[in-house]
Amino acid sequence: PETRTPFYAMKLVEGQPFNKVLDLLEHGGPEARESYGREALLDVFRSVCQAVAYAHSKGVIHRDIKPDNVMVGKFGEVQLMDWGLAKYIGSEDDGEETGSVRTVDPFSAELTQDGIIKGSPAYMAPEQALAEENIDLRADIYSLGITVYEVLTGEKPFPGNTPQMIFNLMISKTYTPLSNLRPDIPDAIAEVIDKM
């Protein structure tokens, strides 16, 4: 008899992670800067924001937005990757209150549970670093703010590699406003990013 082996098929996403693009801009030659000027970088970021807005409209938060999880294709296509930490928090469409996290059955097949720190410390919101249960859409907005800050300045506003270290930097008010590092960025844009 013929044996059947289960398999899993996925779309092949070609391109390079956005963090590699940023690294190339920092260490590459003038041709890299010519290919990825500020407008092109902001176009990539805008596409990421659109993906996040769509997920939020469906009641899903990503919880791990960072340049490493963004793929940039050869022809400018952008994919927000690694939805392994995504969490459904309810949406207006299904009658659940937006922003409220459903109770998770500890024996369910869901990949993430409340009370466990999940994500990338340099990009996670304070409430995520503290493993709070009521993480909502604002955690993704915070991660988007960290990401665009890095895109425009080449550095993270709160460097560090552990949630506690980053949380300590955040509460000690060591944030350098974007306009201090990049006075060429229009004030209106810098204010939005600082607020994020």
Q: Which residue numbers are catalytic?
A: 64
Residues contacting 157, CB < 8 A, separation 6+? 146, 149, 150, 175, 176
Task: Transcribe 61-87 into DSSP letters.
Answer: E-S--SGGGEEE-TTS-EEE---TT-E
Answer for the pair 169, 124: CB distance below 8 angstroms, yes or no.
no
Which helix or strand (DSSP H or E) is residue 88 part of?
strand 87-88
Nearest of 82, 8, 77 to residue 47 by alpha carbon: 77
